[in-house]
Amino acid sequence: MFITIQAQKIITKVLAILAATSKAQKIIIAVLAILLIGSASLAYYFSDQLQTVKNNPQKFTQEETKSLVAKVGQLMVLPAGEDPIIATVVDPERLKDQAFFAQAKKGDRVLIYSKAQKAILYDPVANKIVEVAPTNIGAAPAPAAP
């Protein structure tokens, strides 16, 4: 069978295109496989974390409290021997009339140490202590003098 030189060139170009396409397809399949494996791994990780929180919410809360106390502890000396009560500022507009919350923003955290009678307003985004004030939680009101 006689193939002309021009036909050989065309066949060579077509084979080169097919080979390149095949290689590109292999690369695309490999990338998609890596993305699929990565997505499945992330889904498993977050599912496992969610189950841990559902099964033991106290452990999650304790870990979050320890982390928050460690961050605030780097900024100031905290009362020793006491775990704080943690609260989150949800609606700062409702608290603006209280001097302690005058500069509070949504998401700020309040650490309340009842034994040490101290409250700390902490901004986790800026990593700054916004306010520190004494508290009187659990203290009985002083009797009125006659």
Q: What is the pLDDT of residues 80-124, one digit of tens each?
A: 888 899 999 999 999 888 989 999 999 999 999 989 899 999 999
**Are residues 42 and 81 part of one domain?**
no
Q: Do residues 68 and 111 lie in contact, with contact meaning Cβ atoms separated by under 8 Å?
A: yes
Query: pTM for the full model?
Result: 0.59
pLDDT score for 137:
64
The span from the first CA to the last CA of the chain, in angstroms, equals 126
**Cα distances (angstroms) measured from residue 53 to each of 59, 65, 89, 137:** 8, 14, 22, 30
**Are residues 82 and 28 part of one domain?**
no
Rounded Cα–Cα distance for residues 78 and 75 (Å): 9
Q: Compute CA 62 distance to the chain's CA centroid, rounded to the nearest angstrom.
A: 16
pLDDT score for 2:
58
Q: Which of 15-29, 65-79, 96-110 has the lowest mean pLDDT?
A: 15-29
Residue 36 confidence (pLDDT) above 80 = yes
> Is residue 48 in a domain?
yes
What is the domain extent for residue 30?
Answer: 1-55
**Are residues 48 and 2 part of one domain?**
yes
